[in-house]
Amino acid sequence: MPEPTTDLWWLIIIGTIALLLIGSFFIMTVLFSQKRFIKSQREKLEILEKNQRDMQVSRDQLRKLTAHLESIREEERTNIAREIHDELGQLMTVIKMDVSLLKRKIQTKEKILNISETAKDLQSISALADTTIQSIRRIATALRPEILDELGLIDAIGWETNMFQSRTGVKSDFVTNLEKIDLGRDRSTAVFRILQETLTNVARHAYASEVCVMLDREANDLILKVQDNGKGITETELSRERSLGLLGMRERALFLGGEINIFGDHGKGTLVTARVPIKNP
């Protein structure tokens, strides 16, 4: 039998090395792709866990918001009931007493009817009736801003701004170039409620001496801005989970396809911007 030549030995050695190299390259590729797969699975799991946590936070916020809205509704009912009882009840009683007094005076035959006194009595009854009508309007407005249906959103915002100034003493201006805007009943109510909550916050937290309400239009969006010159809302207050007034405002805007931006400048004031699409998106 012939001996294998040196060349053949070399061929066998090189072939074995090549096979070993290819084998280890293959093993390394498998290991590497496995590691990548595990890494991507871990990332997916982390994203999933984060989404779950976010969802839990949203769910908690939603639950708190619902409870908050319920308590606001309850509080409003209590306020309205008290106002109807205290104000309207009292005014109507006074009117009734005045009328029966007048009736008695007129019915007293022996006494000569004093025309000027009777006119004065009638005048006071009429003034009381006026006060009652004003009270009824005020209570009805608190229930549902009927001013919106009567005046439209733009004038209703102007009216609310004026009322805010006379209620709080904070100098309040309303600036707009818009003459007419048709937002529909629900959208107008939502924008009006956002304004009311923002102004209430100014009165309660800002320690401002001036507030400016601005209404504008950008393309298809209505922009409502409320700028005060108070202490300025902080980042912590903005991100606090129990800031339910702010959350409610955001929810209202989001529901309409819009958004709320709030910016606080320490010691200089707060700017709240609500952007709401004019047409239902």
Contacting residues toward Mg ion, per CB under 5 A:
201, 245
Scan for tokens 């304004």, then name that residue.
195
Assigned token pair, 240: 């606090």
Interacting positions 245-264 with ligand ATP (CB under 6 A) = 245-246
Contact by Cβ (8 Å): 185, 196? no
Assess 204 for contact with ligand ATP (CB under 6 A): yes
237 binds ligand ATP (CB under 6 A): yes
Position 237, amino acid:
E
Return the closest-CA partner of residue 273 out of 263, 37, 70: 263
Q: Which is nearer to Mg ion, 245 or 277 (CB)?
A: 245
Neighbours of 86 (CB within 10 A): 11
Q: Which of 183, 215, 243, 260 binds ligand ATP (CB under 6 A)?
A: 243
**Phi-psi sector, 269: left (phi>0), alpha (psi -120 to 50), beta:** left
Establish if 206 lies at the interface with ligand ATP (CB under 6 A). Answer: yes
Cα(121)–Cα(99) distance, rounded to whole angstroms? 9
Question: Which CB atom, from 124 or from 168, has the smaller least distance to ligand ATP?
Answer: 168
63 binds ligand ATP (CB under 6 A): no
| Residue 63 interface partner, choices ligand ATP, Mg ion, none, CB cut-off 5-8 Å depending on type | none
Which of 58-66, 78-86, 166-174, 244-252 is the region at the interface with ligand ATP (rule: CB under 6 A)? 244-252
Judge contact between 266 and 234, C-beta under 8 A: yes
Residues that bind ligand ATP (CB under 6 A): 201-202, 204-206, 228, 230-231, 233, 237, 243-246, 270
